[in-house]
Amino acid sequence: MNEDLDELLVACSDDMCHLQEPIIASYNMQSVIRKFADNKISLERLLPSMGALHGDQVSLVRGQAVRDALVHKKWTQMFDLVCDVVRSAKIQCLLIKTLEYPWAVLSDIDVLPLNQFEELRALRILEERGFALFQCRLLCHPLKIMALRDDEPAVDFYPSPMWIRKKVCDTELIFCRRKMSAVYKVFVPSSEDSLYLVGSHAYNHLKFTLAEILHGLSVISKSFDWEYVFNLARNYGTLDSIYLYLRLLNAYSEKFRLCSPIDEDIVRAYEVFRVCKRIQSWIDKSHQFVRLPLRIPGTIGCLYSSLYHCRTMSGRVSIPDLLRDFLSHYLMLTDRLLETT
Amino acid sequence: MKIKRDKSIGLVLCGVSFLSLAFEIPAIVHGILRLSPTALVMSAMAVPLTFISLVALTIGYKLLLRPAEIPVTYEELRKRVVAETSRKEKISLSPIVIYLCGIDGSGKTTQVDIISNCLANRNIPHTIVWLRWVALVSYPFLALCRLLGYTAWKVNKNSVRYPEHYFYRNKAVSRIWVLIFTVDMLLHAIVRVRIPLMMKRTVLCDRFVLDSLVDLACETKNKDLFESRIGRLLISILPRRCLVIMLDVSEQEAIRRKRDIPSIEYLEGRRELYFNLASNLGVPILDGNKPSQDLHKSIVSGFLSHLPLWYVPLTDQSREGC
């Protein structure tokens, strides 16, 4: 049943998949709605296939689709506002983790300022516009700030590309390769950085959703610099996350698009490392690798990942930073615990 | 609903960590007071568990008593940034380690002496350390190696005696040597570099961990030592505020300058390793073939003039000298 739900989700969401239009009358609509929400896909995508439904089911799906549309609309409005602030005040920042898939339901906008002064400038403008500023209670960087206004999507400011306290890259490096978004006229990370940031972030949350998979597939192009991504992951101790993301992208494409976008040699380069071998053996053992969303076991995402990351970064960062890196992995586990209880 | 969940998890975490701390702390205290090997081992085992318990206690406390999102004002953030900036400025004015590395005869000691004079002329407190031979806890091991024939004294062409190590002949010996040497280096680095730094003294290092790494790589014939865990650990001994400069000189010039160099092959092997290390770590390389005053000018213009300490005014007597 789960696999059927995955197929329904993919058939509705991915325009490039080979699946037939689904007959949705046979599904439990509550499960379908949960599936779409878990994968950050708007239920609006289900509306064209709803001909066979009637009564309560239709109103249930329509109600959720309207809510998703509203969330998406609010997100777009907030995104426009942030772009406007950035452009008008000439704030040097990048909008990161923005998924390229247009039907993704995103709950926040992530901003990476060039330095703390740029962040302060942006925060001041937002505060003047009625935003309240918050910070998280656990292990968070003192300058990782969330700007919130009423029930609108949050605007998150990152002092550097770090997920909780696990630093995955240097801000300057991403700024060097930034590109201008043709639509919004603001700077966004290059395709390689975008794939890297989204992949490492999803892995850190121990979950890959369909929206993230479709984002990954949409940023890959012929001129994609795989060597850069590999070196970045190797230098910052995130090979495991990128390896798993690439394997997932390939497995998804092979299953649903009947093609393989990433050359096997590229993926094989990662398999030299022990942590990637462990992931490989987990993939080989798992009955069904492509699950939507793909939940990463705690042993891989926390235990092995923390040991590998800290081993790689030891001697490169200070001991307190290393300790925070280490603890970040386990905070994610707590987060999952909170989510599941 | 989520708030309730947070609180209950926080409560559980606090309770469990309190209970475990109640067992662990007495175990550690007992081990320290008894000073018996078993009790010490028990207390050593309890230390990481105590750390985990403390972390769990902190998380539990925060989950229990703090809201998920803590409100913060712009003014508070501004103060944080100002504090961070002033901390960085303070660091930039604090003393640093100036470390010259390179093969024998490259002019490190001469340059360290010149820099030392310049610092003295500015009344900047500083210490010169030479950290190539750092044996301390490794003496018993070296004595054993001597008996087993892994070390020997030799005489070069100029009739100067020099020690030679053959640790590479035995894998176990070479591994133990690297480990013990690292412990020694760590101890020396704390006593001779870290403590003077803490006492606000600038430290001039004539050889330090990178030179030791090259020596170890040669003695154990392990060119991948830099990439190994122990190699990285050695490199991490370098303090954060450390200016590393490599002086390079041709083997012929080095032999001409120093009489105690064993052979030209000895230098060739080491020079190659120095180059590898410098390119891996991004250490700048200066041409040591130049006359010492010219080399000093390059060091000043390229590196020392970027340091705040270089702008401390000269004392009246020394204006002409430096």
pLDDT digits (tens, 9 = 90+) for A4-34: 788 888 988 888 888 777 777 777 888 888 9
Which one of A44-58, A274-288, B124-138 scores highest in mean pLDDT? A274-288
How far, in Å, CA of B247 to CA of A52, rounded? Answer: 79
| Residue A53: predicted pLDDT | 64
User: In this complex, is the C-beta atom of B2 within 8 Å of any C-beta atom belonging to chain A?
Assistant: yes
User: In this complex, is the C-beta atom of A314 within 8 Å of any C-beta atom belonging to chain B?
Assistant: yes
Tally A–B CB contacts below 8 A: 69
Residue in chain A lying closest to B236 (CA): A315
| Residue A82: predicted pLDDT | 93
Q: Which ranges of chain A does DSSP label H, i.e. alpha helix?
A: 2-13, 29-38, 56-89, 116-128, 171-176, 191-204, 210-219, 226-235, 239-252, 264-268, 274-285, 298, 305-313, 319-340
Same domain, B230 and B129: yes
CATH number at residue B177: 3.40.50.300
User: Is B82 a domain residue?
Assistant: no
What's chain B's average pLDDT? 85
What lies within 8 Å, CB to CB, of A58 at 6+ separation is A50
| pLDDT at residue A339 tops 60 | yes
Same domain, B258 and B152: yes
Same domain, B60 and B100: no
How far, in Å, CA of A288 to CA of A292, rounded? Answer: 11
Same domain, B61 and B168: no
User: Is B90 a domain residue?
Assistant: no
User: In this complex, is the C-beta atom of B35 within 8 Å of any C-beta atom belonging to chain A?
Assistant: no
Interface with B, mutate which of A133, A144, A234, A340 (most B CBs under 10 A): A133
At A253, is the secondary structure helix, strand, or coil? helix
Residue of B67, B71, B77 lying closest to A123 (CB–CB): B77
Residue ending a domain, choose from B43, B65, B87: B65
Are B59 and A138 within 8 A, CB to CB?
yes
Instruction: Please check whether residue A308 is in contact with residue A236, taking contact to mean a CB–CB distance below 8 angstroms.
Output: no
How far, in Å, CA of A34 to CA of A47, rounded? Answer: 15
* Containing structural domain, residue B59: 2-65
Q: How many domains does chain B fold into?
A: 2
| Residue B155: predicted pLDDT | 84
Average pLDDT over residues B49-57: 85
Contacts of B73 in chain A (CB under 8 A): 127, 133
pLDDT digits (tens, 9 = 90+) for B72-114: 888 888 888 888 877 776 666 678 899 999 999 999 999 999 9
The fraction of chain B above a pLDDT of 70, given in percent, is 94
Average pLDDT over residues A50-60: 72
Contacts of B240 in chain A (CB under 8 A): 318
Average pLDDT over residues A94-115: 91
Are B233 and A120 within 8 A, CB to CB?
no
User: Is B55 a domain residue?
Assistant: yes
DSSP for A49-107, written as a single string? GGGG--THHHHHHHHHHHHHHHHHHHHHHHHHHHHHHHHHHT--EEEES--S-TTB---
Domain ranges of chain A: 2-340
Residue B316's pLDDT band (boundaries 50, 70, 90)? low
Residue in chain A lying closest to B234 (CA): A315
| Residue A121: predicted pLDDT | 92
| pLDDT at residue B243 tops 70 | yes
| Residue B321: predicted pLDDT | 47
User: In this complex, is the C-beta atom of B70 within 8 Å of any C-beta atom belonging to chain A?
Assistant: yes
| Residue B66: predicted pLDDT | 77
Q: Whole-angstrom distance between the N-terminal and C-terminal Cα of chain B?
A: 72
Same domain, B235 and B300: yes
Same domain, B36 and B137: no
The fraction of chain A above a pLDDT of 90, given in percent, is 55
Interface with A, mutate which of B6, B13, B74, B91 (most A CBs under 10 A): B74
Q: Which residue has the higher pLDDT, B115 or A59?
A: B115
Contacts of B14 in chain A (CB under 8 A): none
Instruction: Please check whether residue A279 is in contact with residue A267, taking contact to mean a CB–CB distance below 8 angstroms.
Output: no
Are B69 and A318 within 8 A, CB to CB?
no
What's chain A's average pLDDT? 88
Measured at the CA of A96, the angle between CA A92 and CA A101, to 5 degrees, comes to: 135
Is the ipTM above a cut-off of 0.85?
no
| pLDDT at residue B159 tops 70 | yes
Same domain, B224 and B165: yes
Same domain, B166 and B58: no
Instruction: Please check whether residue A236 is in contact with residue A204, taking contact to mean a CB–CB distance below 8 angstroms.
Output: no
| Residue A239: predicted pLDDT | 95
A 55-84: CB under 8 A from B: none
What lies within 8 Å, CB to CB, of A263 at 6+ separation is A226
B 227-246: CB under 8 A from A: 229, 232-233, 235-236, 240
Residue in chain A lying closest to B79 (CA): A120
Q: How far is A217 from chain B (nearest CA, A)?
A: 34
How far, in Å, CA of B216 to CA of B210, rounded? Answer: 10
| Residue B92: predicted pLDDT | 61
Same domain, B43 and B167: no
pLDDT digits (tens, 9 = 90+) for A295-324: 999 899 999 999 999 888 876 777 788 888
Integer angstrom CA distances of residue B121 from A196, A268, B94, B110, B125:
52, 59, 18, 17, 10
pLDDT digits (tens, 9 = 90+) for B185-240: 989 999 999 899 888 889 999 999 999 999 999 988 888 888 888 888 888 888 87
Same domain, B190 and B303: yes
Same domain, B105 and B163: yes
Q: How far is B232 from chain A (nearest CA, A)?
A: 6
Residue in chain B lying closest to A339 (CA): B2
